[in-house]
Amino acid sequence: RASRQTADRRPDLQLSFEFFPPKTDAMEERFWDSIAKLAPLKPRFVSVTYGAGGSTRERTLRMVRRITADTGVPAAAHLTCVGASRDEVDEVVRGYQDAGVKRIVALRGDPPEGVGQPFTPHPDGYRNAADLVAGIRRIGDFDISVAAYPEKHPQSPDWQADIDNLKRKLDAGANRAITQMFFRNADYLRYLERARAAGITAPIVPGIQPIHSFKQISGFAARCGASIPDWMAERFEGLEDDPETHALVAAAVAAEQVTELLDEGVTEFHFYTLNRSNLVLALGRLLGRRAGAE
């Protein structure tokens, strides 16, 4: 089993960690503390999200700049094209270029009315993520990641449309896709098959969401079209007031998910950290990556 092999037999293992820009001083402290704890796992990059409608533009830029300047960890900036003209988006991209940021996670984003509402591009804006990727490529030589949806994007009418869209993003110049959170590995593996059958060869990195709070993650999942399997809801049922057991179950659920994927031959993982380090540090160990080890 791949999950029982030592790390030196898995030199191709690649990890990345996603953060969100903190709102308060206390949250910012936790953000930097988590970056410091996860940096020794030598991630390919840590990424910082772009708030809905570009609401965190300045904070995302500040965090990404500082990670780049102060920690030596490669940073990736998420960027969306919601509510902004091409010129405005291009200016943000050039800002990253000037700050030495070489990686962008390029997304369409969701309309301010909410996830799932029809998306209307800005009249002078990029129309979708594929269009944005092409725009970024015109500006500079960035490493670009795009989004993929193992349970289909809620606005894709069918699988064909969904996979065609992923292909357009990669053909426009993206280097890899990162998936939305999912909890049934079979969904991800079937999605990989569909993508490979459509001639997509780029890496499709599973996005792993450790369950720090089942209540919170179920809310996120419902909003983004990821489903929570019954067996998972049952595992967390009644643990709202028992944080210790909740944390142990969360670790077990995520451990099961990543070791199973590793055994399926997956070598790249993206973790949604929610700016916390503990569970991700533990999962890194299960994947054979730990602080201080070469």
Is 18 labeled as catalytic in the residue annotation?
yes
SS3 152: coil
107 is a site residue for ligand FAD (CB under 6 A): yes
Euclidean distance between CA atoms 109 and 87, whole angstroms: 17
With CB under 6 A as the contact rule, the residue among 27, 36, 69, 161 that binds ligand FAD is 161
Tokens of 12: 């191709």
Name, in order, each residue with C-beta under 8 angstroms of 161's C-beta and a sequence gap of 6 or more: none
165 is a site residue for ligand FAD (CB under 6 A): yes
DSSP at 78: E
128 is a site residue for ligand FAD (CB under 6 A): yes
Which one of 8-16, 162-170, 194-202, 209-217 is the stretch in contact with ligand FAD (CB under 6 A)? 162-170
**206-225: contacts with ligand FAD (CB under 6 A):** 207
227 is a site residue for ligand FAD (CB under 6 A): no
Whether the CB-CB separation of 106 and 133 falls below 8 Å is answered with: yes
With CB under 6 A as the contact rule, the residue among 22, 45, 68, 162 that binds ligand FAD is 162
Which one of 22-30, 106-114, 188-196, 243-251 is the stretch in contact with ligand FAD (CB under 6 A)? 106-114
Question: Angle formed by the axes of helices 25-38 and 278-286, to 10°?
Answer: 10
Tokens of 172: 């426009």
Q: Which is nearer to ligand FAD, 126 or 236 (CB)?
A: 126
User: How far, CA to CA in Å, does 21 sit from each of 51, 55, 111, 149, 187?
Assistant: 8, 10, 20, 23, 30
User: How far, CA to CA in Å, does 58 sit from each of 92, 134, 170?
Assistant: 10, 23, 28
105 is a site residue for ligand FAD (CB under 6 A): yes
18, 58, 91, 113: the active-site residue: 18
129 is a site residue for ligand FAD (CB under 6 A): yes
- Catalytic residue IDs: 18
Residues that bind ligand FAD (CB under 6 A): 49-50, 52, 78, 80, 105, 107-110, 128-129, 147, 153, 155-156, 161-162, 165, 169, 178, 180, 207
